[in-house]
């Protein structure tokens, strides 16, 4: 298996706004067609700087048929409410993703913000991830990047976490929307017909180290808050996924909590729903 690399630093700027208050800029962070993000920006504040960025990470059980179009309405809404939003696409299982490329892409995509900060007057002091479903998993996992090297992964897998220099962007908080936060249990329950094994190239019995490395539970406790929001009528991701993470984090004296909201799995990414509005308010509170 080839180790992942940061990829080409090709900006591929597709230009700015569509004539309204929210401006949109698309950038590549690597050479693959799925290595891109779209930056949604509100009007520049009076002090001339956007404070913080929300990284929107879409779900879809890490499969290639689901893409960043799921996160676009959220990113648009966040920008309309005064927050800079980075809607992140990444390689998924079925289009060059899976282990380790999906994980490489998420870190590289977040790090791309460092390259964009000066151009778009971004203050990267607070960078909060808003992740839905499998995106919640990736957001919580990325929040633990500083601890990944401690897990003792052998080469070449260990190269996933090597970018720890001044160009690395570390998350300062996470809002997980019905996230898959307990990967070992998700595998045991065979969620979405073996989605975890599909992501990681095989079962934990065959690849125990990569499964441990990919599980957000492994890096607990974190030094940043992770708020797990779960929809009461969610029949796609069990509530136990959020409960296990919050229980473990609380026991380890980490800043985490579980919040129940009305609706189903997809109400969480519907800008018109109360469930989503709660998530937006939580993101605003984490940005400060």
- What domains can you pick out in the chain, each with its CATH number? 23-287 (3.40.50.1820)
Q: Which residue has the higher pLDDT, 10 or 134?
A: 134
CB 101 within 8 A of CB 108: no
The 10s digit of each residue's pLDDT in 214-272 is 999 999 999 999 999 999 999 999 999 999 999 999 999 999 999 999 999 999 999 99
The 10s digit of each residue's pLDDT in 141-182 is 999 999 987 776 543 454 554 455 667 999 999 999 999 999
How far apart CA 252 and CA 222 sit, in angstroms, is 9
Using the predicted structure, report yes or no on whether residue 274 has a pLDDT greater than 80: yes
CB 173 within 8 A of CB 286: yes
The 10s digit of each residue's pLDDT in 58-91 is 999 999 999 999 999 999 999 999 999 999 999 9
Q: What's the pLDDT score for residue 39?
A: 98
Using the predicted structure, report yes or no on whether residue 9 has a pLDDT greater than 70: no
State the pTM of this model. 0.92
**Dihedral sign, Cα of residue 266, residue 271, residue 277, residue 282:** positive
Q: What's the pLDDT score for residue 223?
A: 95
């Amino acid at each position: 298996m080839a180790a992942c690399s940061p990829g080409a630093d090709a900006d591929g700027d597709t230009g700015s706004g569509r004539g309204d208050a929210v401006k949109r800029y698309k950038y590549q962070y690597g050479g693959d067609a799925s290595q891109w993000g779209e930056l949604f920006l509100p009007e520049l504040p009076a002090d001339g700087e956007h404070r913080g960025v929300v990284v929107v990470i879409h779900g879809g059980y890490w499969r290639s048929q689901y893409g960043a179009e799921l996160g676009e309405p959220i990113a648009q809404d966040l920008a309309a409410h005064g927050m800079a939003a980075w809607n992140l696409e990444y390689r998924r299982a079925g289009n060059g993703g899976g282990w380790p490329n999906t994980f490489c892409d998420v870190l590289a995509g977040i790090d791309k913000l460092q390259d964009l900060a000066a151009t778009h007057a971004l203050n990267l002091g607070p960078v909060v991830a808003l992740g839905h479903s499998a995106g919640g998993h990736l957001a919580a996992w990325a929040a633990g990047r500083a601890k990944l090297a401690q897990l003792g992964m052998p080469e070449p897998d260990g190269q996933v976490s090597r970018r720890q220099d001044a160009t690395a962007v570390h998350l300062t908080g996470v809002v997980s929307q019905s996230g898959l936060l307990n990967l070992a249990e998700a595998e045991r329950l065979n969620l979405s017909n073996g989605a975890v094994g599909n992501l990681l190239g095989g079962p934990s019995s065959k690849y125990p180290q990569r499964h441990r490395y990919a599980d957000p539970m492994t890096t607990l406790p974190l030094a940043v808050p992770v708020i797990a929001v779960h929809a009461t009528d969610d029949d796609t991701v069990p509530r136990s996924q959020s409960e296990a993470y919050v229980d473990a984090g609380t026991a380890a004296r980490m800043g985490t909590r579980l919040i129940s909201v009305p609706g189903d799995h997809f109400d969480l990414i519907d800008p018109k729903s109360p469930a989503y509005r709660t998530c937006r308010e939580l993101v605003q509170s984490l940005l400060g």
